[in-house]
Amino acid sequence: MKHKSAIETELKLRIPATGPYRPLLEALGFHEVHPAQAEISVLWDRDGSLRAVGSALRTRSYAGQSRLTWKGPKIPDAMLKIRPEQESGIENPEALEAILRALGYAPVMRMEKVRAVWERTELEACLDETPFGCYLELEGDPQAIRVAMESLGLAPDRAETRSYPELFAANGLG
C-alpha cells in the first residue's frame, strides 16, 4: 500500500498452505510486490515497560530494507486487529541497535518467517510461512478485508486473533 494509515487494521487467517492462495489473490486483483523471502523481526523493550502498556517496538529486515515500527495498544474488536502504528525506514540498522541499547532497550524476542507481499488499491495481503503454520494477513480498510476474506472462501473461524509474538511464544519460539 502506498500510504499507510496511522491506525493499522488487519486480519490474520490460518491457512493450510500459501501456494493455493497465490492464484486466488491474483484473481481478486492483487499483484505480488515482494516474492516469498525471509523476514527477521526483533522486539525491543526496556524492563517490560512497553509490554506493560500494550505497546511494541520492532525492528524488521525484509526485502532488502530495514524498518523501525512502534505499535500502540490494541483497540478492541472481535475479529480484526486494530492499533496505532508508526513506522520508518532504517538507514543503518547497526547504529539504530546501538542507539536503542544506549536508551536502555534490549531485544526480547526474535522472530523469523517467510513472507510474500501482495497489494491492490485498498488492501495489502501477506502470505506467511512460520515454524508453526501458514497465515494470510489482510491489511487495510475493514470492509475490504471482510469482502476479500469471503471472496477467498475463508470463514471467520479461521481468524487468528493472537499476534505473531504471542504465537511465537505459545510455540516456544522467539
For residue 34, how far is the Cα from the chain centroid? 14
What CATH number belongs to 7-170? Answer: 2.40.320.10
Of the CA atoms within 13 Å of residue 6, those in its CB half-sphere come to 0
For the chain, give every domain's residue range: 7-170
Mean pLDDT by 10 residues, the chain (174 residues): 76 98 98 98 98 97 97 94 96 97 98 98 97 98 96 96 95 90
149 closest CA partner among 26, 8, 16, 11: 11
CB 135 within 8 A of CB 16: no
- The predicted structure's pLDDT at residue 4: 67
- The predicted structure's pLDDT at residue 174: 75
Q: Is 133 left (phi over 0), alpha (psi -120 to 50) or beta?
A: left
- The predicted structure's pLDDT at residue 1: 44
- The predicted structure's pLDDT at residue 95: 98
For 28-92, where are the alpha helices, taking DSSP H only? 49-52
Reported pTM: 0.94
